[in-house]
Amino acid sequence: MLKSVRNKIKTESVDRSGLFASLYIIACANGLTARIVKSIHSRGWFDATVGNFDVSIIVWVACFVGVSLVLSERAGKIQKADLVLSAALLLLIALPIGATSWLAVAILSLYILFLGRPADSLRRGAIVLLAVTIPMFWSRVVFNLFARYILEIDAIFVRWVLGTERTGNLVEFVDHSGSLAILPSCSSLANVSLALLCWATVSQFARHKWRSQDILWCLLACFSVFAVNVLRVSLMGVSGSFYLMLHSPPVEVLLSIIMLGLVVSISLAGIRHDSVIGS
């Protein structure tokens, strides 16, 4: 009896799913903690808590779903390449920079998808966790490289709604009392990346089979949050008083809930023909 227990523990200790899940948990926890600490320092405990520490509920759910999928199916014994990669990723995660943890998540996911010969649940979990890195890492990289152009795109649409003058990322208030500056926190890019993550999480959790129509559903989810954000910023551009009212934490939470409802509803509608939900 004791021998069989030892054999079982030994077998489970070399399971690839357990190794990959452990790496994902460490990396996600480190990346999320860095974001939480930054949010508290910049906004204070109350505003940071109300704003969910600047981490969307979609990200929290996606991390849980992704790790759960990775753990839900045994993936065989650990390979030497897995150990080499794990050591390198742990060094990357250990760096005192939150972004490197998300880079580690992306590298691990790509390794599993293209070199790891993954089982079904492991593959789906890797896709979800790779998608998590879009809003948590890649969208920020893209924004840092093309911030000027991204903010000007938002400003063009806001100017079109308000019908006032625009200079770069500045749009004149409707009451001509000043100009609204569209800052990085008001950019639609972050919301669009969350829409992509929501679609990936829902579709992979539901074992959704890829169809050409999925592109349209995904674009619809992205457009919906883009439209809501442009409308929000446009209302801010009515006057200074509107700006102060709509820039308060409670209103931001309400808008986040509206966007969440939209992307979840559209994602569920896109997979409505699938008969199997869950893993």
pLDDT at 4: 43
Query: CA–CA separation, 69 vs 20, rounded Å?
Result: 11
Q: For the chain, what is the mean pLDDT?
A: 87
pLDDT at 276: 42
Tens-place pLDDT, residues 80-129? 999 999 999 999 999 988 899 999 999 999 999 988 677 789 999 999 99
Q: From the centroid of its chain, how far is CA 76? A: 29
Tens-place pLDDT, residues 207-226? 888 888 889 999 999 999 99
**Residue 7 pLDDT > 50:** no
| pTM for this entry | 0.87
Tens-place pLDDT, residues 38-60? 888 888 887 778 777 888 999 99
